Amino acid sequence: MNILVVNGPNLRLLGTREPAIYGDETLADIMRHLTAYASERGVRIEAFQSDIEGELVDEIGAAWGSYDGIIINPAAYTHTSVAIRDAIKACRLPTVEVHLSNTHTREVFRHTSLTVPVCIGQVMGFGGHGYVLALDGLLRHLETIKQERIK
Ligand code: CA2
């Protein structure tokens, strides 16, 4: 099982600023914990981060055939990017959206996600642990699909 984890703009700054909102773990810390959790379950994680919308679109677009599912934190593009939404929909891989913070407790412009309607689910407000929760949900979804195909 191969899972692609896509992180959007400025998430590389995690652990250096705004710890009250985003916690004090770096993105590398979060990906290390996720990778360790995944490998105990026989799952391989490939992590990709970019600040550039087109690079995120290209990475999602190339995922079909190499990955079984996607975990994505589109960061600020969550609230603006039709291109990332279209890429998730077009790639046809089950995708879970993650946010470190609970965006509904923050500014109104963060309350809307353009990307979540094309995802199977969303996890928010649990900091870096949200990626582990997203992986659990995604693996359960993939197992359910597999069982339904066997029936
Ligand atoms: O809560 C989340 O995970 C967000 O996706 C984070 C985005 C924000 O635009 C979304 O509304 C919610 C921001 C990521 C930038 O992260 C920073 C980390 C440290 C310092 C500055 C930015």
* pLDDT tens figures, 32-55: 999 999 999 999 999 999 999 999
Give mean pLDDT, residues 115-142. 98
| Runs of H (alpha helix) within the chain | 19-22, 27-39, 53-61, 82-91, 129-150
Burial class (CB in 10 A: 0-12, 13-18, 19+), 50: middle
Q: Which domains does the chain have, with CATH numbers?
A: 2-150 (3.40.50.9100)
Q: Is the CB of 27 under 6 A from ligand 1?
A: no
Per-residue model confidence as pLDDT tens digits over 55-93: 999 999 999 999 999 999 999 999 999 999 999 999 999
64 C-alpha to center of ligand 1: Å? Answer: 27
19 C-alpha to center of ligand 1: Å? Answer: 11
DSSP bridge partners of 21:
none
